[in-house]
Amino acid sequence: GAARGQGAAEAALFVAEGARVLLTDVLEAEGTAHAEALGADARFAHHDVADEAAWDRVVATALDAFGSLDVLVNNAGIFRGTPIVDTTVDELDLLYRVNQRGVFLGIRAAARVMAGRGGSIVNISSGAGLTGAPNMIGYVASKFAVTGMTRAAALELAPHAIRVNSIHPGAIDTPMVAANPQDMVAAVIAATPLGRIGRPEEVAEVALFLASDASSYLTGAAIPVDGGSLA
Ligand code: NAD
């Protein structure tokens, strides 16, 4: 999910800090352009996170290009804002497919490669994946799943020195939020103690901390980056 929004900001910050980054996304043109702009330490590969076989391909691409896999950010996600009574099984399945199965496949792929040498997995859940929210039952369910899988993986992978933490953004200024009615976004901002929408770069800073050895004693944590909304 690195072609735009928070994932694009995370890839840019990681490269700026000296990492070599394989950006993946279903948005081929945007992802390729962003990786090219980041220079020789960034590559792009087309990747649907819900596609099991595609994970083998992108992990192989990362290992070929860079020699090791030390960090995975499971950022790709989709949002649907629908009342319960109008939510179809197809919409529910789509949210599970991308937001839940995608994160599971990422954790499994990374665990297979990182076992024996350690690493850090950063899962992007949501504030909605800690508290719930109205008119988004499928999204909430899929993000609670990310929160739960983070804890399950943190406990199971700790003996392998693989740390697994989740970030829970509030309203962040990305295309995902821009697609919603402006009055809904304004209401969320009005209810945010810091009184403004977050920037993708502010989430990227927390992802960088969780990816790096600066957070070496942190695993299984669920960190809100939400202007105080959960406070
Ligand atoms: P965004 O829509 O700008 O970015 C999401 C990226 O994921 C896009 O580049 C998209 O193409 C990619 N993606 C979608 N489906 C994919 C798939 N099947 N395979 C690979 N890539 C896919 O939104 P964003 O705000 O940057 O979202 C990033 C993450 O943050 C998501 O998991 C989202 O649920 C979460 N989040 C966002 C907010 C917010 O307010 N923006 C709040 C809480 C949580």
Supply the pLDDT for residue 231.
Answer: 81
Output DSSP code: residue 199: P
Q: Is 120 in the pocket of ligand 1 (CB under 6 A)?
A: no
List, for residues 111-141, the tens digit of each pLDDT value. Answer: 999 998 999 999 999 999 999 999 999 999 9
pTM, 2 dp: 0.98
Ligand 1 mutation target, pool 142, 176, 180, 229, most atoms within 8 A of CB = 176
**CB atoms closer than 10 angstroms to residue 169:** 26
22 in helix, strand or coil?
A: strand
Supply the pLDDT for residue 210.
Answer: 99
CA 40 to centroid of ligand 1, rounded, Å = 25
Write out the catalytic residue numbers: 139
Contacts of 13 (CB under 8 A, 6+ apart): 201, 204, 205, 207, 208
CA 27 to centroid of ligand 1, rounded, Å = 11
CA 36 to centroid of ligand 1, rounded, Å = 21
Supply the pLDDT for residue 3.
Answer: 98
At 22, is the pLDDT very low, low, confident or very high (cuts 50, 70, 90)?
very high
Supply the pLDDT for residue 196.
Answer: 97
Supply the pLDDT for residue 86.
Answer: 98
Ligand 1 atom 41 nearest Cα: 172
Supply the pLDDT for residue 116.
Answer: 87
Q: Is 1 in the pocket of ligand 1 (CB under 6 A)?
A: yes
Amino acid symbol at 82: T
Distance CA 230, CA 168 (A): 10
Distance CA 107, CA 112 (A): 9
Q: Note the residue count of the chain.
A: 231
Supply the pLDDT for residue 177.
Answer: 95
